[in-house]
Chain A
Amino acid sequence: MPGAPGPRMTLPTQLVLRALLAEPTREMYGLEVGEAAELPSGTVHPILARLEGCGWVESRWEEVDPKRAGRPRRRYYRLTPDGAELALTALARVHTPRRLVNRLVARPLGGAT
């Protein structure tokens, strides 16, 4: 979504972007994104929704028959090509020291934003 304002680069948002950028072409579902970002489970959906709203991330339903698979369809996320570029630029700009990131990740986060 060219021209859409970018997301606020909060620490959890940076962690999610770093996780998605680690393998930009790989699709991951919410639980995997949370694990890769080292965020508590159940906290990534507000971030993913915001990134999707900015056009940095796109999502799609897994093409599977829920009855045959014995489980609901999975929602997969990945960076858009534009999103990957913008995310790299934004992360380079914020320059959150890795040491600080590690320290903050080590303690429970109150919220996801």
Chain B
Amino acid sequence: MKKILFTIIGLLFFFSAGTALAASPVLPSIYQSGNWYLTDATGAIVSCPTGPPQSWEEFYNDVSISAPMSFSCVAPPWLDASNLNATFFGNGNQVGDRLRYEFWTGTSQGGTNMGHVEIVKLFSGYGTITATTTTHFTSIEISTTTQDFRLQGYISPNDENVNIIFNVSTPLYSQWDHGSFAATTTGFFDLSIPYQNFSTSTIDIFTFTGTLLTPSTDPFYATVPPTIYDTISTTTTSSGIGVTHIPTPNETITAVASNCNPFNSFFSISGCVSYLFFPDTQAAANNVAFLRDNILVKFPLGYFTRFYTILSGHSTTTIPAISYTWANDGGPLAGKTLAFNVDDYMVQAKGLTEEMVSNTDHKTVYDIFMPFINLFLAIVVFYNLIEDIMGVPLSGVQRGRAEGAKINDKGGVGNKSYGPNRGDFNQSKT
């Protein structure tokens, strides 16, 4: 078993080293704080992702466009084929979230070949409702604690210095909230909108709409209805209204309101009992958050929490470069400096694994082989655990009996500790 493990680890390091040493085009990108950001890129898309884009808005949230970019699959807000320059920077990508890949080819602004650019976008999905239309108002966020809503959006360069007026309404409230602000700078805006009259017992499926009343000067927005809509459902109780679920993007939740109110059209005994005994998702999440923020951080448990936090973190540290300068001793290498930047080599090599994609579904090498690697590791762990728990090496029973003289004081052979059958070994020994 150890030989197999060592062989696997050796092979993995071999492939890792091979990957690191391979030459490949450099992507114009930086990697900071666990996020992968493209810096400068030009080009045109040559292959579209499988399936429709999940949400351009989410993608838009993480990309700051200094100039429009061409996209041949689905027109993004910055569509402008005449200008292929774009600058990317990310804002909050987290490893482990849902990813979406886009494949680009072209040439970077720096002149380096950019055979493949992988734009990784993820959807946090938590607490955010994403608009299903492309507009300035990209999402609204509902908070169960404050009953406030947040309106988030993006101000494009073309709309800079435009006074934007917004209006948020529901079927019940023709004008839930409204206001205006000056788009003095390009970027994201985030408005907190307190919900009014939210303690009503009236059941309704609210449709929130944000409307950009000021006509946009952006050519794209000018052709798109500037509305945001998403349907969520809320539930009311005698003590007020509560949201039973944080909607994920584009999710419509069926109203399960006032289940315990016999005079309500949503009256349901089973629903009422379920609501009594089973905390809803948000309540459970609040409990976990409370436990994490108020109890697990206390001394001395906090040390374990901190250790776990560090282990589970996704932040990265650039591997330091190694350099050596020979002394001026008259030798042939006097004064010469040898620099060995592992990080640079690996950054360059990363592009190779990303370039090798399957033709059909654009999966990279790791996309294809990681499930096999994980399966194999799972089998190895399971095998070792079974062996440890059973107390009998699955592949060495006969050998153990033959080497009875080597039985140790634990009744096992070598370093293995034998379990239920240890008595047999001891008896045979004596």
A binds B: no
